[in-house]
Amino acid sequence: MANGETAASTSAPDVKKLLVELEVPFPPDQVRWRVTNTTNDKKRGQIVPYADPRSYTDRLNALFTPQGWTREYKVETMGNITRMKKGESILSGKVLVTCTVTILGIGSHSGTGEEWADDENCMTSADAQAFKRACSCLGLGRYFYDFPAMWVDLDQNREPARAPILSAWALPENWRKGMRPSGRNGNGKADAGFQAGRPNGASNGNNGQAPARPTSPANGNSSNGQSQTEKANGSSAAAHADDLDERILCMEKAVGTTFYRSILREYGRVNQPKLIRDASIKRKVLQVLESVARGINRLEAVTKRLDPKTVTALLAKLQAPPLGEISDLKTLQHIVYGLEELAGPNQHHAV
């Protein structure tokens, strides 16, 4: 009888609704902010949002009851690791935690966390990190990864001087109405960025790349013909890679060195395009850089039509860095969209 009741309570339609509800953002009063980077003078910092592990637990209890889910931890340690702390080299170790969260009738997901062993709260921090990462695989807290990088003023304790205002899409009631961040397009992929106003009416179908040259078919199935085709394809691939490298290098002047290097590191994990071995990654890097260039052009156009005080006020509202310090696409998008909205409905078409 118990098994029958459990099966009935986790029928497919109910499970789907529960998983959708699991993704809903936390209430604003449960959102906290952590400083991840600071300027040299420590007066401004880059922040990311997070929620206490108890908020995650409360959500799981509310949706599935305390008996409807479990979590299991596995702890490992690594010793004799030298690291720098406050300018000094010390001998330390690491605590590695794996947390597996299981929702009965649905499934399990695992997440990992780690912390330096010389931190007095290392176990608590690693546990929390692992637990929340496992939950994000189930959708809970996943929306935190969609926040753009934000720079804010810091107080004397190097904490945010004031809490940022959450975007409308990050509020539970708006999320339930279908509002989502601009980086989501409904299929789990990131928004390509500033696609409108593509130069020369270029199509999006080939990611802005020149169409591939057709190759002449070899006569028959002779080995000579096959060899020629392979050589031609190899030469074509090499030439195409060189072309991509050149086009990527040319984008540094268009987007600025800071933005250029930031995109290379984020999407290519390199400092030079020639170090990227995968052609698809090269194309992605070029696509993002082109998107950034379009965004910068639109930013320059809209700022010329707005009062500088209006621009400054919007940057403060978005907790964004000065225009010359922007180095990520999402922040650029938020600023441009906000300024274009202030400039009026015709501004977008004028760019």
Question: Which pLDDT tens digit goes with each residue over 161-183?
Answer: 888 888 889 999 999 999 988 65
Query: Does 190 fall in a domain?
Result: no
* Per-residue pLDDT at 208: 35
Give the mean pLDDT of 190-199: 42
162 and 18 inside one domain: yes
Query: Does 257 fall in a domain?
Result: yes
157 and 252 inside one domain: no
Domain with 251 in it: 237-350
164 and 26 inside one domain: yes
Per-residue pLDDT tens digits for 224-241: 444 444 444 555 556 566
141 and 21 inside one domain: yes
Q: Does residue 285 sit in helix, strand or coil?
A: helix
Among the candidates 125, 151, 176, a domain finishes at: 176
Give the mean pLDDT of 48-65: 95
Least confident of 18-32, 125-139, 299-313: 299-313
Q: What is the DSSP letter of 275?
A: G
Query: Does 116 fall in a domain?
Result: yes
Query: Does 54 fall in a domain?
Result: yes
Q: What is the CATH number for 148?
A: 3.30.390.80
Per the model's pLDDT, the better-predicted residue between 41 and 30 turns out to be 30
Instruction: Using the predicted structure, report yes or no on whether residue 71 has a pLDDT greater than 70.
Output: yes
172 and 241 inside one domain: no
| Residue 81: both structure tokens together | 């690791």
Instruction: Using the predicted structure, report yes or no on whether residue 203 has a pLDDT greater than 80.
Output: no
Q: How far is CA 297 from the centre of its chain?
A: 23
169 and 277 inside one domain: no
Instruction: Using the predicted structure, report yes or no on whether residue 51 has a pLDDT greater than 90.
Output: yes
Query: Does 185 fall in a domain?
Result: no
DSSP string over 230-251: HHHHHHHHHHHHHHHHHHHHHH
Among the candidates 176, 198, 225, a domain finishes at: 176
- Structural domain count, the chain: 2
* Per-residue pLDDT at 109: 94
DSSP string over 129-178: HHHHHHHHHTTTTGGGGGPPPEEEEB-TTSSBSSPPPPPGGGSHHHHHTT
* Cβ(330)–Cβ(320) below 8 Å: no
Position 196 confidence tier, pLDDT thresholds 50, 70, 90: very low
Query: Does 252 fall in a domain?
Result: yes
167 and 299 inside one domain: no
Instruction: Using the predicted structure, report yes or no on whether residue 16 has a pLDDT greater than 60.
Output: yes
* Per-residue pLDDT at 245: 86
* Per-residue pLDDT at 97: 94
244 and 142 inside one domain: no
- Report the candidate in 221, 204, 218 with the shortest Cα–Cα distance to residue 291: 204
Query: Does 199 fall in a domain?
Result: no
Query: Does 287 fall in a domain?
Result: yes
φ, ψ of residue 79 in degrees (nearest 5): -115, 175
* Per-residue pLDDT at 313: 84
290 and 160 inside one domain: no
Position 337 confidence tier, pLDDT thresholds 50, 70, 90: confident
C-alpha Rg value of the chain to the nearest Å: 25
Least confident of 13-17, 35-39, 295-299, 313-317: 13-17
Give the mean pLDDT of 60-83: 92
Distances from the Cα of 200 to the Cα of 150, 207, 296, 299, angstroms: 33, 14, 17, 19
Instruction: Using the predicted structure, report yes or no on whether residue 30 has a pLDDT greater than 90.
Output: yes
Position 26 confidence tier, pLDDT thresholds 50, 70, 90: very high
Least confident of 55-64, 92-101, 265-274: 265-274
Distances from the Cα of 54 to the Cα of 30, 61, 157, 299, 312, angstroms: 10, 10, 25, 41, 38
Per the model's pLDDT, the better-predicted residue between 348 and 338 turns out to be 338
Per-residue pLDDT tens digits for 104-162: 989 999 999 999 999 889 999 999 999 999 999 999 999 998 887 788 899 998 899 88
134 and 9 inside one domain: yes
Q: Which residues of 110-145 are buried (b: 16+ CB within 10 A; e: fewer)?
A: bbebbbbbeeeebbebbbbbbbbbbbbebebbebbe
Average pLDDT taken over every residue of the chain: 79
Among the candidates 161, 176, 191, a domain finishes at: 176
* Per-residue pLDDT at 98: 95
168 and 257 inside one domain: no
Position 95 confidence tier, pLDDT thresholds 50, 70, 90: very high
259 and 156 inside one domain: no
